[in-house]
Structure 1
Amino acid sequence: MKILIDMNLSPDWVKVFEKYDIEAVHWCNIGSPCEKDTVIMEWARDNKYIVFTHDLDFGSLLAATGMETPSVIQVRTQNILPTSIENLVIFALRQFASELDSGALVTVDKAQSRVRILPIRRD
């Protein structure tokens, strides 16, 4: 499992993931901080990374395009610092590991984590 951390999350997340033997890189070490979400998604797909974000646009992009990858983990909490939600995020990664490997949108919040298998189909 490899995680690409979006610009809206702290680079401190890299060390958190590494603590659990999960490869991680922050987007600021890959490309421009102002890059479009579509470019970030393309890079993640091409390099087999899961996008980790606090930005709802990634889920919307998956829904609008019908893409099957990359997987996205979106955090839906006010406090997005690792000290606040590290356990929630790691639990969700473990709980939905097989879905994330295949293509999924995982939403993590304080109450629960949810998964949608990709592609997201319009009903």
Structure 2
Amino acid sequence: MRITQHGPLFDGRAQAALKDYIEDVEAEVAQEGEQLVHKYLHEFLQHPTGRYESHVRARARGSLYEVSDGGVVYGPWLAGTGSRNAPRTRFRGYRHWVLAFQELERSSGRIAERVFRPYLRRMQ
């Protein structure tokens, strides 16, 4: 008896497609996270100048992605996590990061499914 194995699963194409898929999902989720932060900032900011918003970006950090404001000094105050927020002042922050994160957690599965379709063909 002789068994011959061939196809994407055995010649490495499936593994390469899976690696590419994971990278694309991470990038797509990070981009969606950036868009959600901007969405919430637009809802909360009363007199936006665009300065803070221009610093909020999705960035690759090694093999991972992060969405941040790049360390803007007043970012924690806007988010409500700074030392100058309540109870020191009445301003409790906008919670734009928390709300964006919660929404991103709910939608990340749908993003992963949408991105997967083209990779499935490469794995068959």
With the shorter chain as reference, the TM-score category is under 0.3
- Structure showing greater relative contact order (alpha-carbon pairs closer than 8 Å, 6 or more residues apart): 2
Report the TM-score, using the length of structure 2 for normalisation.
0.25
Report the TM-score, using the length of structure 1 for normalisation.
0.25
- Larger relative helix fraction: 2
- Larger relative strand fraction: 1
Larger radius of gyration: 2
